[in-house]
Amino acid sequence: MHFFNSNFYGMSFLLIYVLLFLSSVWELGSASTPSQLQLEANAIINSGWWNLSSSDSHNICSLIHGIHCNDDGSVIRIKYLCFKGRIQLATLNLSAFKNLEFFEVAYCLGGTIPPEIGTLSKLTYLELSFNALQGEIPFSIGSLSKLIFLDLSHNSLHDEIPFTIENLSKLTHLNLYHNSLQGKIPSTIGNISKLTYLDLSYNSLQGEIPSTIKNLTQLWSLVISNNYIEGSIPFELSFLRNLSDVDLSYNKINGTLSFSLSNLTNLQNLDVSHNLLTDSLKPFAGRDFSFLESLDLSYNNLTGLPLVLNSHDVDISFNNLKGSIPEGLNPYALKGNKGVCSDNLNIQIKYQFQPCSVRHKKLTLNWNHNQNQLVIILLITIFLTMAFILYLYTRLNRVAIKKKHARLTETSKNGDLFCIWNYDGSIAYEDIITATEDFDIKYCIGTGAYGSVYRAELPSGKIVAVKKLHGFEAEVPTFDGSFKNEVKVLSEIKHRHIVKLHGFYFHKRIVFLIYEYMEKGSMLSILFDDMGAMELDWIKRVNTVKGTAHALSYLHHDCVPPIVHRDVSTSNVLLNSNWEPTVSDFGTARFLNLDSSNQTIVVGTIGYIAPELAYTTVVNEKCDVYSFGVVALETLMGKHPKNILSSLQTTSTVCEILDQRLPHPTVSVLQDIVVVAIVAFACLNPNPCSRPTMKCISQCFLTRLTPFNIPLHHISLQQLMSQELTHYLKL
């Protein structure tokens, strides 16, 4: 009986389970009323992100890394940081994800943010940073009433911030950094009372900071730098006692420091530099700001006397302060204030301060009234003589110091200040910002791996090229190290065919190098343009190859220790108005240590890297020789040679590989073209030991050779690669 009962209940449980399973299968298979799971799966499949088919729709969560589902199989979390290709966000049917709570995608999205984003009613975390999203932030964003975290930074969003953002009453983190947002900061932002972090920097926002910001009493970080904010700093900031970091730099804020710093006892970092503040520092005298870790008031119009502000890091440079440097304050914090003075000669020279007025001290002397008048005259004469000698010595010493300093800096009335290691960029910085309109894109003449290059015409009429590191990459050690390496290399070498470094400017938020301007641009851009390629005739091309060879020979054989460029390519060979070449971009250059193996990671431009670097990490001069061979051959062909050694028939002639956009070479330049071709093929030898040195190549171009009697159309590539011609050129 017991056995019967147990089996009866077991069979009943099994029957119920089968009925439930068949019911779920019927629901999933119904074509007329698709289930929530089907909608989510179809949305992912139709987006094309993962190239899945409809047969995989039942297993989305287990197939895709970064997709998480609840126990019912519905998607509640999407976290994917590295998709392949560019995906249009609008192709994902967002309305299908009714249970989505966490949505983070980076480095792959494009297009616009669709209004359907507002249907994700359960969303608490939304991060779409580091994408290529364009268009406006939809008004429907205000429907995400449960949202706590919102990050749309590093995109290309424009138009105004929607006023509906006030509906995000639970939001604590709002980051719209590095977009192209315009208009005013909406006053409704003050209704997000739980906000603790707000970053609107690097946009094009205008108008004033709304007074409603006083309602953000839980805010601890406020960043609105690098915009066009005007007006004064609202006094209402004094009410935000939880503030720890405030950055309003690089705007057009005027007026005074009206808000009360003494109320913000939790404030650690305050940056209002590069604005139009006209306040006096006198009201701050005697106040204790020891709670501040850093205070940056530089590049304003502040007046008054320099103060000893009790803070770890103070910068009140480039204002209109007057008076002597107070004891205990670093003179660096006061540089650029024309009214600040110092009686310390070293400080005067280093920071360009004027000497303070001489303060006469009264000397009280107790003379004996019965002393002989002659003794008095004698003492006075001795005193004046010693004073004259001391003055003469001081004057000569000061002149010597100024002469020594003049060798390190070049100054002009218009602020055209350029030097190398001791250059702080104080004067030239303002000229560069003005000349490029704060690095407006219309002055950009090229973009590379480490930064963009701008054309800048200084007040003196001098035109320079400014290479600026990308703003958000300025703090990345790799990029910062590349810039410093380029400064180190170019400051220690000088050659006619190597680009001249005029100066540099390093700051925690902006880094740029100032070069000699090359009017014609790079060889790569010239060869790519048909008009430019035709203007670059055979004589100019031969001279370009020769100049590049002389520059590399100088780096390899005349510098101690030798320098390997490691990125010789047509994009790094620039031409001036006279079509004279210069080698540029020394960000990856390296000084060779003759006592070590010189191992390094592989760097350079694809298509110019020596083949041996594919299996070895040892760098030497022969790597540059191979790259030079590619550049020389590309100059003759007018295009990158690619795999010319293996793809072309050895019976091909020189005429067949020359740039067909130019007329046939004349007899006067024919000899030089053949020599360049022979040198190029010798440099492209797969065996590094068989390649010539740059010194041999440079000397070869300087040697007058016996003319060839063979017509150009009869010279084959096989003959060019023969050892007889190589030995003939003494390579």
pLDDT tens profile 196-222: 999 999 999 999 999 999 999 999 999
Of 355, 375, 405, which residue is a domain's last?
355
Q: Classify residue 724: in a domain, yes or no.
A: yes
CB-CB contact of 274 with 251 (8 Å): yes
Q: Assess whether 567 carries a catalytic annotation.
A: yes
CA distance 376 to 331: 43
Residue 30 has pLDDT above 50, yes or no: no
CA distance 666 to 678: 18
Residue 471 has pLDDT above 60, yes or no: no
Residue 296 has pLDDT above 70, yes or no: yes
Say if residue 562 is in the same domain as residue 648. Answer: yes
pLDDT of residue 625: 94
Say if residue 579 is in the same domain as residue 538. Answer: yes
Residue 504 has pLDDT above 60, yes or no: yes
Q: Higher model confidence: residue 620 or residue 539? A: 539
Percent of the chain with pLDDT over 90: 30
Q: Give 728's pLDDT tier (boundaries 50, 70, 90).
A: low
Question: What tens digit of pLDDT does each residue of 266-290 get?
Answer: 888 899 999 999 877 766 655 666 6
Say if residue 532 is in the same domain as residue 504. Answer: no
User: Mean per-residue pLDDT for 137-153?
Assistant: 95
Say if residue 500 is in the same domain as residue 540. Answer: no
Residue 584 has pLDDT above 80, yes or no: yes
Contacts 24+ apart (CB under 8 A), 724-731: 725/678, 726/678, 726/682, 726/692, 729/675, 729/678, 729/679, 729/682, 729/700, 729/705, 730/696, 730/699, 730/700, 730/703, 731/678, 731/679, 731/682, 731/692, 731/696, 731/697, 731/700
Query: Which residue do the tokens 């939790």 mark?
Result: 266
Q: Give 189's pLDDT tier (boundaries 50, 70, 90).
A: very high
What dihedral angle (degrees, nearest 10) is formed by the CA atoms of 49, 51, 56, 58?
10
Residue 475 has pLDDT above 90, yes or no: no
Q: Give 250's pLDDT tier (boundaries 50, 70, 90).
A: very high
Say if residue 431 is in the same domain as residue 496. Answer: yes
Angle at CA of residue 511, ends 506 and 515, nearest 5°: 95
pLDDT of residue 31: 34
CATH number for the domain that contains residue 578: 1.10.510.10
Q: Classify residue 171: in a domain, yes or no.
A: no
Q: Give 257's pLDDT tier (boundaries 50, 70, 90).
A: confident
Q: Give 3's pLDDT tier (boundaries 50, 70, 90).
A: very low
User: Mean per-residue pLDDT for 233-262?
Assistant: 86
Q: Classify residue 448: in a domain, yes or no.
A: yes
Domain total of the chain: 3
Question: What tens digit of pLDDT does each residue of 674-700 get?
Answer: 889 889 988 988 888 889 999 999 998
Say if residue 346 is in the same domain as residue 438. Answer: no
User: Mean per-residue pLDDT for 77-91?
Assistant: 75
User: Mean per-residue pLDDT for 514-534?
Assistant: 90
pLDDT of residue 85: 58
Say if residue 455 is in the same domain as residue 573. Answer: no
Say if residue 580 is in the same domain as residue 724. Answer: yes
User: Mean per-residue pLDDT for 445-457?
Assistant: 80
pLDDT of residue 2: 40
Q: Classify residue 222: in a domain, yes or no.
A: no
Q: Classify residue 290: in a domain, yes or no.
A: yes
Question: What tens digit of pLDDT does each residue of 161-176 get?
Answer: 999 999 999 999 999 9
User: Mean per-residue pLDDT for 104-116?
Assistant: 89
Question: What tens digit of pLDDT does each residue of 623-638 get?
Answer: 999 999 999 999 999 9
CB-CB contact of 193 with 174 (8 Å): no
Say if residue 621 is in the same domain as residue 598. Answer: yes
Q: Give 412's pLDDT tier (boundaries 50, 70, 90).
A: very low
Mean pLDDT of the chain: 78
Say if residue 446 is in the same domain as residue 543. Answer: no
Q: Higher model confidence: residue 613 or residue 475? A: 613
CB-CB contact of 576 with 519 (8 Å): yes
Q: Which residues are annotated as a binding site for ATP?
A: 468
Q: Computed over its alpha carbons, how large is the radius of gyration of the chain?
A: 35
User: Mean per-residue pLDDT for 702-730?
Assistant: 66
CB-CB contact of 160 with 186 (8 Å): yes
- What range defines the domain where residue 443 resides? 425-516
Say if residue 687 is in the same domain as residue 615. Answer: yes
Percent of the chain with pLDDT over 70: 71
Q: Classify residue 178: in a domain, yes or no.
A: no
Question: What tens digit of pLDDT does each residue of 43-73 get?
Answer: 665 555 544 444 444 456 766 677 888 888 8
Any bridge partners for residue 504, and if so which? 513
User: Mean per-residue pLDDT for 148-164?
Assistant: 94
pLDDT of residue 425: 44
DSSP-assigned letter for residue 334: G
Query: What is the sign of the dihedral through the CA atoms of 436, 437, 443 and 448?
Result: positive
Q: Which residues are annotated as a binding site?
A: 468
Any bridge partners for residue 514, and if so which? 466, 503
Question: Whose CA is closest to 87, among 39, 155, 133?
Answer: 133
CB-CB contact of 311 with 289 (8 Å): yes
Of 355, 377, 393, which residue is a domain's last?
355
pLDDT of residue 591: 62
CB-CB contact of 596 with 540 (8 Å): no
Strand order of the sheet with strand 109-112? 87-88, 109-112, 132-134
Angle at CA of residue 419, ends 413 and 424, nearest 5°: 85
Q: Classify residue 452: in a domain, yes or no.
A: yes
Question: Whose CA is closest to 184, among 205, 158, 202, 168?
Answer: 205
Q: How many CA atoms lie within 13 A of 144 on its CB side?
A: 27
Highest mean pLDDT among 85-89, 446-450, 649-653: 85-89
pLDDT of residue 6: 42
Of 355, 373, 403, which residue is a domain's last?
355
CB-CB contact of 99 with 70 (8 Å): yes
DSSP-assigned letter for residue 659: -
Pick the catalytic residue: 247, 271, 315, 567? 567
pLDDT of residue 32: 34
Q: Higher model confidence: residue 227 or residue 395? A: 227
DSSP-assigned letter for residue 606: T
Instruction: Tally Cβ neighbours within 10 Å of residue 283.
Output: 11
Q: Higher model confidence: residue 483 or residue 514? A: 514
CATH number for the domain that contains residue 463: 3.30.200.20
Q: Classify residue 722: in a domain, yes or no.
A: yes
Say if residue 531 is in the same domain as residue 506. Answer: no
